[in-house]
């Protein structure tokens, strides 16, 4: 859980940090669309180039950015392995045999390797860009941005502010619960608990002493947060004012052009360069 980066904010002054949170949310959605529109490695290369620019202009340390990928590394490796060994394609993308290994249901092919690389790049770009949103946007700004984008739903009496607040609190609780998990685990180790030895089922049973106090701690913190909000006379039903007004600036205009160029470039490469390579 120490490798999970969602919900963690990196405080610094940068071009990306000063962007409007509404634009950053829309940009993330457009970036995800661009990733899935990409049909070849040229499109993913364009997405990677834009992500590198975001990391450079955000001034977030590269180690923190890479740590966001470490959190899903097992999922990436597992997915890649499944596609390498079980992808049945026989397409040839470079000089060499189309099928490298075929034994029962296991097939290692050129198409499987290409498809696995393509899928791994998609997952890495998706996770990294989503992490950059939380690295460069405070929970309060994220709440304001979500609430502003969902404003049309107020016409059908949808609790927009409550929904945005719930999402913001959930993101904020992720690093808190990570620290709580580490403290509980160290306390159990001090009492003689061993989480490294034994088989899979023994390790799963060994984490029960961690999950039970963690769940109880989460409910306690939620109850304390609710009491603190009640003590400050918080009410989501009233029309609330904002201390900081969200405004689009020249930075958001530059970001919009980058977003439009990315979508247009990926679509053009999808149409005229259809092959995965």
Q: For the residues of 127-151, what is the DSSP string, one character each?
A: HHHHHHHHHHS-HHHHHHHHHHHTG
pLDDT of residue 53: 94
pLDDT of residue 238: 63
Give yes or no for residue 180 having a pLDDT over 60. Answer: yes
User: How buried is residue 152: exposed, middle or buried, by Cβ count under 10 Å (0-12/13-18/19+)?
Assistant: exposed
Q: Which range in 30-34, 149-153, 186-190 is most confidently predicted, on average pLDDT? A: 30-34
Give yes or no for residue 93 having a pLDDT over 90. Answer: no
Bridging pattern class, strands 106-109 and 99-103: antiparallel
CB under 8 Å to 88, separation ≥6 — which residues? 107, 109, 112
pTM: predicted TM-score of the whole model, two decimal places: 0.79
Encode pLDDT of 15-45 as tens digits.
Answer: 999 999 999 999 999 999 999 998 888 889 9
- Place 91 in a pLDDT band, splitting at 50, 70 and 90: low
Residue boundaries of the structural domains of the chain: 1-159+243-277, 174-235
- Residue 216 corresponds to which tokens in the numbers above? 């109880």
Give yes or no for residue 100 having a pLDDT over 50. Answer: yes
Percent helix, strand, coil in the chain, to 5, is: 70, 5, 30
pLDDT of residue 28: 93
User: How buried is residue 8: exposed, middle or buried, by Cβ count under 10 Å (0-12/13-18/19+)?
Assistant: middle
Token pair 């995965």: residue = 276
46-60 per-residue burial string, b: 16 or more CB within 10 A, e: under 16: bbbebbeebbebbeb
- Place 50 in a pLDDT band, splitting at 50, 70 and 90: very high
Give how far the C-alpha of residue 243 lies from the chain's centroid of Cα atoms, to the nearest Å.
28
pLDDT of residue 1: 47
Q: Which range in 70-84, 131-145, 245-259 is most confidently predicted, on average pLDDT? A: 245-259
Among the listed residues 136, 122, 124, the one whose alpha carbon sits nearest the alpha carbon of residue 55: 136
Give yes or no for residue 2 having a pLDDT over 60. Answer: no
- Place 260 in a pLDDT band, splitting at 50, 70 and 90: very high
- Taking each helix axis from N to C end, the angle separating 139-149 and 160-190, rounded to the nearest 10 degrees, works out to 150
Share of the chain above pLDDT 90, in %: 21
Write the CA distances from 261 to 34, 43, 46, 115, integer angstroms: 11, 12, 10, 26
Which range is least confidently modeled, 52-56, 97-101, 139-143, 260-264? 97-101
pLDDT of residue 265: 92
Taking the CA atoms of 30, 36, 40 and 41 in sequence, report the sign of the dihedral they define: positive
| Torsion angle of C-alpha atoms 186, 189, 193, 198, degrees rounded to 10 | 80
In this structure, what DSSP letter does residue 99 have?
E
Give how far the C-alpha of residue 175 lies from the chain's centroid of Cα atoms, to the nearest Å.
14
- Place 187 in a pLDDT band, splitting at 50, 70 and 90: confident
Give yes or no for residue 198 having a pLDDT over 80. Answer: no
User: How buried is residue 269: exposed, middle or buried, by Cβ count under 10 Å (0-12/13-18/19+)?
Assistant: buried
Give mean pLDDT, residues 216-240. 83
CB atoms within 10 A of CB 220: 11
pLDDT of residue 39: 85
């Amino acid at each position: 859980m120490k490798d999970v980066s969602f919900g963690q904010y990196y405080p610094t002054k940068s071009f990306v940090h000063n962007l409007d949170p509404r634009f950053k949310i829309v940009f993330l959605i457009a970036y995800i669309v661009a990733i899935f529109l990409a049909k070849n490695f040229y499109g993913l290369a364009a997405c990677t180039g834009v992500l590198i620019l975001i990391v450079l202009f955000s001034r977030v340390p590269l180690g923190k950015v890479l740590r966001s990928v470490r959190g899903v590394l097992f999922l990436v490796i597992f997915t890649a392995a499944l596609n390498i060994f079980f992808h049945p394609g026989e397409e040839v993308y470079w000089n060499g045999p189309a099928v490298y290994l075929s034994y029962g249901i296991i097939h290692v092919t050129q198409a499987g390797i290409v498809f696995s690389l393509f899928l791994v790049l998609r997952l890495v770009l998706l996770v990294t860009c989503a992490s950059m949103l939380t690295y460069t946007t405070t929970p309060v700004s994220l709440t304001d941005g979500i609430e502003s984008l969902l404003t049309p739903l107020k016409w059908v009496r949808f609790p927009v502010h409550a929904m945005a607040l719930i999402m913001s609190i959930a993101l904020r609780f992720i690093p808190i619960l990570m620290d709580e998990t580490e403290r509980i685990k160290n306390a159990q180790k001090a009492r003689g608990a061993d989480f490294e030895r034994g088989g899979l089922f023994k390790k799963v049973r060994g984490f029960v002493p961690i999950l039970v106090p963690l769940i109880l701690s989460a409910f306690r913190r939620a109850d304390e947060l609710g009491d603190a909000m009640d003590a400050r006379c918080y009410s989501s039903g009233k029309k609330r004012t904002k201390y900081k007004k969200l405004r689009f600036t020249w930075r958001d205009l530059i970001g919009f052009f980058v977003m439009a160029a990315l979508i247009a470039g990926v679509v053009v490469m999808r149409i005229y360069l259809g092959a995965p390579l």
